[in-house]
Amino acid sequence: MTVIPGGLRTLAIERAADGFVRLVFQVPDHRHNVLSREALEDLAAALDLLDGAPPTGVVIVSARPGSFFAGADLQRLAALRDAGQPALVDACDRGRRLFDRLSTSAYATVAVIDGVCLGGGLELALACDLRVATDEPHTALGCPEVKLGLLPGWGGTVRLPRLIGPGPAVEMTASGETCDGSAAERMGLVDACVPAGVAVESAIRLLAIRRRDGSIERRRSRMAEAVTLDPVEREFLESTAAAAILGRTGGHYPAPPAILQTILAGSAVDARAAARIESAAFARLAATPVAGNLLRVFAIGDRNRRDPGVADPLVAAAAPVIANPAVVGAGIMGSGIATRHLRSGFPLVLVDIDEQALTAAVPCILDEAAWDRRSGSADPTAALGHATRLRSAATLASCAGVDLVIESVTERPDVKQQVLADIERVVGPDTVIATNTSTNPIGRLAAGLEAPARFCGMHFFNPVRWMMLVEVVRGPATSDRTVAAVVAHAKRLGKVPVVVSDSPGFLVNRILMPYLHEAGELLREGVPAERIDRAARAFGMPLGPIELYDMVGLDTAFYAGLVLSAAFGDRIEASPVIPALVKAGRLGRKTGAGFYRYAGTGPHARPAGFDDRAGEVIARYAHPPRDTSDRVLVDRLFLPMLLEALRVIDEGLVRDVGDVDLAVIHALGFPAFRGGLLAWGDSLGAAEVVRRLEPLVDLGLRMQPTPRLLDHASSGRPFTP
């Protein structure tokens, strides 16, 4: 193998004796390969060199394990977005012209895909004549641009429908979902799926075969032409896909319908004309507020992925790496936390003094840990593998050798304090101890510990399987070492950790409670529950607040409300409606009756309408009715959340204001297309927020502008940096 010198920083050019050339990418300063400006310039320079001495064939491969290409450099995209639509169109055209060189060259090309191959990375692979994927679990191909409010802009909407058909192309790009190597082979996205150890050799052999039989030239010709689509087939695809997209997005996201129309329009013309359609559509989408908000959400998420949770990088680097965790408590939350550990590959000790509860929990944990989304059932082989790593016990002595214990027993502070003290007595001096609590102050729980520096909150959200956020709560005595270790561990579980200071309700419940409280006040004013929930869903929330009350459980909401009312009763008074419903045994879905009545009980019970008996309870605490326009409903529900978020920032509960938006998106389902709570406030403008609060200030302190809000209104500064 001869390395061709070229002074390139992101790739190496290797020429083999058989005349094949490998372009081996490894983009520095990134966790994954990304198509940065430098990587694109190096690819262009490499192709210039090869054009001077054409090889037998070119193999594009990554030297970075688990990463072919993760996509384009989004920081560059944000800068182009500010430059305007002509700059965006030009960037699309230049990138696509570069990739076109791979499919119009004098030599044939093949991409070897091992690891993530997303966005622009997939478009690079699509521009090659052939694609060979590995059968490794980490191999994933997809077009996630839609999740940023965009569509593929370097030929994805042009090449995909010509390769796999317009219908599958719409589904792949409009959903943003990924597929593994074998699924990609079945749909025709790749030409072969092979073990990683033979991928390059297989790619070269396949390229040689396809060059000899003329299939590469035939494919190049077909990829340049329009797609033959029967008018009836087109009409059916357009109507069904449009309906599915509307149902999936609620009409809030412009990218999916734009993807559908771009693919249909581009399929009807040749590839050159389709490229122009794609560039124009990309530029239009990139200029929308939704794309701006989603790009910002991605940016704050990327900052979170790189943030160790503490200011000192040396402390973060020296923090212990958790390898042998334990969970104490096999209830709903403890079982969910245990499942997440098993799915992430950890050995785990699960402890519960109730042997009957422990025995019942273990099979459910193993089934959920082994759940296969593609088959819709638990994989028995995977369940067996998880079982070998799960050790259950009814005594805390089993925690003696672990390096992290997550306590997840009942929310009663006296019980938690006793369990935590017992844990401390049996574990080693370096073991990190965490509590999964949504309401109990960490300082209070740490009062009985001899070494509170190694103790913090690790608040998971229910259901653990789906909820991404973990609040890492720093108590008064918690050390940086402890915080850094727990943040890193949460990331290895695939979660999004946000470090918050100890405060009643921490961050998420503190911001959520004004929303729920205001919904209760609206009910007392006679606004129908269905209308309140409908207004919240129209805003973009996955559930309305009344539905959320019933899902969380009115008893849980009651106890959380007591904690927050005790701390912030001047603006979040405990509603008499909730305890009255709890006293009547109406706890929500789990009992089949709350605000709504349900067909059955449990988390999957379906609502069957508002319950008149709940209405009778609400009527006992009625308020005089007020103006209830849809706009006012939205203001009543969400402006108190914004005011509470501004108070949170003033009190220094978060390390970065972006953490507020990240938390409400991942824990509450606040609509990402609005960019988060603070970004939504910016979309109104601080002065407009003050104006909208004016007719509501008689409701009390909860609707009165804070000093920070007034300062932003007078200066014109945004809430977000």
Rounded Cα distance, 579 and 611, in Å:
17
Is position 30 annotated as part of the catalytic site?
no
Contact 90, 149 (CB under 8 A): no
125 CB contacts (<8 Å, ≥6 apart)? 60, 68, 69, 111, 113, 117, 131, 141
Rounded Cα distance, 335 and 453, in Å:
27
CA-based torsion, 421, 423, 428, 432: positive or negative: negative
Contact 167, 230 (CB under 8 A): no
Rounded Cα distance, 508 and 709, in Å:
20
Q: State which amino acid sits at residue 719.
A: F
Rounded Cα distance, 497 and 422, in Å:
27
Rounded Cα distance, 324 and 327, in Å:
10
Q: Can you tell me whether residue 298 is helix, strand or coil?
A: helix
Please state the length of the chain: 721
Rounded Cα distance, 308 and 317, in Å:
9
Nearest to 686 by CA among 662, 710, 655, 721: 710
Phi-psi region of 119 (alpha: psi -120 to 50; beta: other; left: phi over 0): left
Nearest to 490 by CA among 676, 337, 672: 337
Q: Which of 459, 489, 517, 666 is catalytic?
A: 459
Q: Can you tell me whether residue 348 is helix, strand or coil?
A: strand
Rounded Cα distance, 138 and 2, in Å:
30
Q: Helices (H) and strands (E) in the chain — how many of each?
A: 31, 23
Listed as own residue / partner, the contacts of 44-50 with beta carbons closer than 8 Å and 24 or more positions apart are 44/98, 44/101, 45/6, 45/8, 46/6, 46/8, 46/11, 46/13, 47/98, 47/101, 47/102, 47/105, 49/4, 49/6, 49/13, 50/13, 50/21, 50/105, 50/107
Q: State which amino acid sits at residue 585.
A: G
Rounded Cα distance, 157 and 202, in Å:
28
Give the count of beta carbons closer than 10 Å to the beta carbon of residue 199. 24
Give the count of beta carbons closer than 10 Å to the beta carbon of residue 7. 6
Contact 297, 676 (CB under 8 A): yes
User: Tokens 């193993």 — which residue?
Assistant: 366
Contact 471, 507 (CB under 8 A): yes
Contact 13, 51 (CB under 8 A): no
Rounded Cα distance, 554 and 558, in Å:
6
Which residues are part of the catalytic machinery? 459
